[in-house]
Amino acid sequence: MHRLTGGIRPYLALSLLCLVLYLPGLAALPPMDRDESRFIQATRQMLESGDYIRIQFQDDMRAKKPAGTYWLQAVAVKALSHPASTSVWPYRLPSALAAWAAVLMTFAFGRGLIGERPALLAGVLLASSLMLTLEAHQGKSDALLLACAVAAQGTLARFYVWAKAREAQGAGGGGCGGGAGPMTANRMMAPGTAEALAFWLAQGAGILVKGPVVPVISLLTLATLWIADRNIRWFQTMKPVLGTAVAAAIAAPWFVAVSSATGGAFVGEAVKGDLLPKLLGAQESHGGFPGLYLLLASATFWPASLLLWPAAARAWAQRKRLAFRVLLAWAVPTWVMFELIPTKLPHYVLPAFPALALMIAALACEGIEAFRHRAAKAWYAVWTLIGLGLAAAMVVLPIRFGAGFDPATVPAAIGIALATLLPAILAWRGQIVTAALALALTAAATFPVAFQGVAPSLDKLFLSRGAARIVATIGSDGPVAAAGYSEPSLVFLLGTGTRFTNGAGAAEHLAANRRALVVVSDRELPAFFAAAAKLNLEVEDFGHADGLNYSRGKPTSLVVLGVRAP
């Protein structure tokens, strides 16, 4: 590992790992409902209309997120594809690149906080986490948010550690403990105006990507450090007055433009229709109890969760060390904030993952006794069950939601099982650093198989794709109407003109557009046929897409229908 920590080699090693984990499945996975499909369809409509200020999903204003993510997706599509194409990978490319950038920045900032060896290990842990890999494969804002958060929080941590180490030396303390070894102000290059500017640029970019999330995380970190230290004078070196103006200069022009274009409706709807419902209740049924993210962490941080709980048991005891102090101030308030918000989605706590990865890696390299404790060994056994469950899923999912048993999934599942057992055995034996490195092998054996091989073949989970294939085979002369099925992925796959209606409305659509097609769900078929009979339509069944509407958790059958040709 020592040979990888110098010069450009760690960046190349981490980049290769990200390529192995994030590239497979980027093009093969169909559009995911619902958030991703709304993002990519709104971006397509920006390109179709040439209006890069207002965000629309069909005829409705999409006042959920600012324009930053849509702009980056639009650049990727314009450079590599075309708005008429249903290829989804260009829309996902900004997310994959942002995930890669977050991993590299975690290493870059971590090497100054905890040392090069543990920082490289932290990059491996973050890159390999299930949640970041999922976000790298989806065309939405969360991987971009993470990149902005790492840029801001990493810079903040650097200013804090340098100022406090210098302060300790000035008081005759001789430095202060970093993460994996002693750190003094003399060994650090003083952060300057350029780095302060980077912090504020990240704040402005973060606001354009996902509103106030990054500033709130930084404010929580600052407040926690102020409470812990009773002193926040060091923050003056980050030029907060000038920096606030810089951040505002990045974000404000679009907010002013969209407010002008919508008569103030966008900002009002964003607050009343999105932000407040999340803070006051479980928006769109995405509710959960405080502590849910802790329960999910074993899976969302997998496979790095192998070392999560043993490290968490010791992290608080390290709080007097500067690196741990600022990393705890980053991770803990962020995590608590999302635990307290009633609306819960698994990716909300992703901005805390880099801080967790850095603390775990530092403690792993120090070989603390907690990793060899009896409770830790019991956890390694439980953790192994998660990996074995994923291995079994590679065989079971195609049987349940695909074309049936696929013999090729058996060796893949065996490989995942072996790659899961290896780090668990190494950790059991006390070879913690080697076990942590082996987690990259676990991720590399699991995620490409899942995202490139298994998931795209699960036709019964991707009803929109099935219906769109039938429509493409038959051909629809005019927009398609959908009754009883309103998933946004169908709009992306069939076109912006796709109309959502009920069974009777679908029949009327065919009466007015006799060479068009309609997609009707099983629950709307009786109303459709009753209305078609009244309109004297002879209807032909062109095919079915049967499966599970996973957004609603309900079995659904879609039928593609049209007027019978004379």
pLDDT at 338: 94
CB neighbours of 48 closer than 8 A, spacing ≥ 6?
83, 496
**Dihedral angle sign, alpha carbons of residues 493, 497, 502, 508:** negative
- Cis status of the peptide bond prior to 303, with omega within 30 of 0: yes
pTM to 2 decimals?
Answer: 0.93
126-147 pLDDT, tens digit per residue, is 999 999 999 999 999 999 999 9
| Ordered DSSP codes for 251-315 | HHHHHHHHHHHHTTHHHHHHIIIIIHHHHHS-GGG-B--TTHHHHHHHHHTTTGGGTHHHHHHHH
Whether the CB-CB separation of 112 and 19 falls below 8 Å is answered with no
pLDDT at 5: 65
Whether the CB-CB separation of 114 and 179 falls below 8 Å is answered with yes
Whether the CB-CB separation of 440 and 17 falls below 8 Å is answered with yes
pLDDT at 274: 62
pLDDT at 180: 43
* Distance from chain centroid for Cα 442: 20
Whether the CB-CB separation of 499 and 509 falls below 8 Å is answered with yes
Q: Which two tokens stand for residue 211?
A: 């509103």
**Alpha carbons 221 and 219: distance in angstroms, whole number:** 5
**Alpha carbons 275 and 116: distance in angstroms, whole number:** 39
Share in percent of the chain as helix, strand, coil (round to 5): 70, 5, 25
pLDDT along the chain (566 residues), means of 10: 74 97 97 92 96 92 89 97 95 98 97 94 97 97 97 96 81 46 52 92 96 96 94 92 94 92 78 62 63 93 95 91 95 96 91 97 92 93 95 96 93 96 96 96 97 96 96 94 96 96 96 95 96 94 94 92 87
CB neighbours of 566 closer than 8 A, spacing ≥ 6?
none
DSSP secondary structure code for residue 495 in this structure? -
Best CA proximity match to 514, nearest among 487, 526, 532:
532
